[in-house]
């Protein structure tokens, strides 16, 4: 993969991580309201805790560059749920356009990963050094 592509994916990884971390933090701080909202959608309340945790912790570890593909896959599931369960009826503009953009960013990272300035890359280098000794 070219250096420019890695830099572009790094920018997406950091941006997506910050956005999800911020949304997760907001959800954690008002999780009881989120539980009620999930209930109004016919979803079990425990899913509010799961989504808040995935967004908060997933956002942080995405920023750090750990498990980029796995975390991005979880974000894809959350965005699909948000679009189809909550925002689809509002239409694209003023409805699910942000969720769609986040879905696209997460999909790009799930497909390609991103090793630039990531802990995954650091850990991988350490494993390679141990194996070659």
Q: 9-23 pLDDT, tens per residue? A: 999 999 999 999 999
**Domain extents for the chain?**
3-132
**pLDDT tens, 75-131?**
999 999 999 999 999 999 999 999 999 999 999 999 999 888 898 888 877 766 666
SS3 annotation, the chain: CCHHHHHHHHHHHHHHHHHHHHHHHHHHHCHHHHHHHHHHCCCCCHHHHHHHHHHHHHHHHHHHCCCHHHHHHHHHHHHHHHHHHHHHHHCHHHHHHHHHHHHHHHHHHHHHCCCCCCHHHHHHHHHHHHHHC
Q: Is the pLDDT of residue 6 over 80?
A: yes
46-61: pLDDT as tens digits: 999 999 999 999 999 9
């Amino acid at each position: 993969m070219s250096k420019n592509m890695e830099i572009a994916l790094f920018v997406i990884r950091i941006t997506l991580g910050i956005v999800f971390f911020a949304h997760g933090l907001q959800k954690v701080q008002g999780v009881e309201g989120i539980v009620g909202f999930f209930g109004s959608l016919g979803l079990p309340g425990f899913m509010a805790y799961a989504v808040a945790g995935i967004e908060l912790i997933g956002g942080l570890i995405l920023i750090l560059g750990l498990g980029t593909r796995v975390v991005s896959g979880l974000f894809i599931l959350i965005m699909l749920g948000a679009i189809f369960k909550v925002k689809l009826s509002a239409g694209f503009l003023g409805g699910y356009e942000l969720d769609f953009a986040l879905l696209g960013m997460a999909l790009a990272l799930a497909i390609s990963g991103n090793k630039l300035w990531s802990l995954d890359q650091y850990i991988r280098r350490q494993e390679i050094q141990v194996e070659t000794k």
